[in-house]
Amino acid sequence: MKIAFIGLGNMGSPMASNLVKAGHNVTVFDLVESAMQALESEGAGRADSAQAATQGADVVISMLPAGVHVKSLYLGRDGAPGLLEALEDDASNITPLIVDASTISPEDARTVAAAAREKGFTWLDAPVSGGVGGAKAGALTFIVGGSAEGFEQAKPVLDVMGKNVFHAGENGAGQVAKICNNMLLGILMSGTAEALALGVKNGMDPAVLSEIMKQSSGGNWALNGYNPWPGVMEGAAAGRDYEGGFLTDLMAKDLGLAWELALGSKSTVPMGSQARNLFALHSAQGNGGLDFSSIQKLYREGE
């Protein structure tokens, strides 16, 4: 299958790499020259523009930092035409399927999807969870919003990069589900860090308390595989001074998206709101570039 891949950041590079390894004909584009060179050395083709990368493609995949980049790419900016227009004008194109794996607001996703639909293209929002490790291992979770037909069409390609591929609903639902999940994750992680700190301050061993809560009604994803207390769990970010992993600033970004979603829908999110403030505070204290489980440090100052 001929695949165009746009956006070779920390996530996009290993995702594109897995598509190459699976034998697909992948053409990449990124603004960073070295990222394209790396993919080229693995067997991908490279193009000088997003438009050029998508010529004759069956599937277009994009993985960009935020909504503003996704809108620029597809809808254009400052009078320059976007990719949707270029795809329409490309006589060699056979109406490709478009999958955007970026995490953006549901509103932005619906805007771009509607513009694509007008031109007869199927556009899916397919944000991922699983981080850089999941991307490298081809073990990401894709949460897809868009038509059922589009989902079925995309699934074999997403299966190459992911372990779980969910259909969340219509366009925007992929982003809504991802935002809800990551809000809950922010709540779980800060709550788990808080419970561990409370126990330790009252004489408990963090490993014993972790084991008890994991097997009791406090059990959650953080305790199962991402324990925030240093030394409790082998391989967790806490054991390497919180280097790498899913960054505090990305969690703060996702919790900010949850605020926007709550504002737009007149929802109340007291727990997510508290978590957002904690991660934003933690970032303001200089921890934005650490793994988000470093929120544990916020509870340990002055110990």
Residues in touch with a copy of itself (CB under 8 A): 106, 129, 141, 143, 164, 166-170, 172-173, 176-177, 179-185, 187-188, 190-192, 194-199, 201-205, 208-209, 211-213, 215-221, 224, 226, 258, 261-262, 265-272, 274-275, 277-278, 299
* Nearest-approach distance from CB 286 to a copy of itself, in angstroms: 19
* Nearest-approach distance from CB 37 to a copy of itself, in angstroms: 33
Q: Residues near 138 by Cβ (< 8 Å), separated by ≥ 6?
A: 18, 160, 161, 162, 163
Angstrom distance (rounded) from CA 299 to CA 282: 10
Give buried/exposed letters for 151-190 (b at 16+ CB in 10 A, else e).
Answer: bebbeebbebbbeebbbbbebbbbbbbbbbbbbbbbbbbb
Angstrom distance (rounded) from CA 238 to CA 103: 25
C-beta of 10 vs 164, nearer to a copy of itself = 164
* Nearest-approach distance from CB 6 to a copy of itself, in angstroms: 25
C-beta of 45 vs 199, nearer to a copy of itself = 199
Point out the catalytic residue in the list 119, 155, 163, 178: 178
Give buried/exposed letters for 224-261 (b at 16+ CB in 10 A, else e).
Answer: eebbbbbebbeebbbeeebeebbbbbbbbbbbebbbeb
* Nearest-approach distance from CB 213 to a copy of itself, in angstroms: 5
C-beta of 230 vs 272, nearer to a copy of itself = 272
Active site residue 178: yes
Angstrom distance (rounded) from CA 294 to CA 245: 10
Asked if residue 234 lies in contact with residue 228, where contact means CB atoms within 8 angstroms, the answer is no
C-beta of 7 vs 162, nearer to a copy of itself = 162
Active site residues: 178
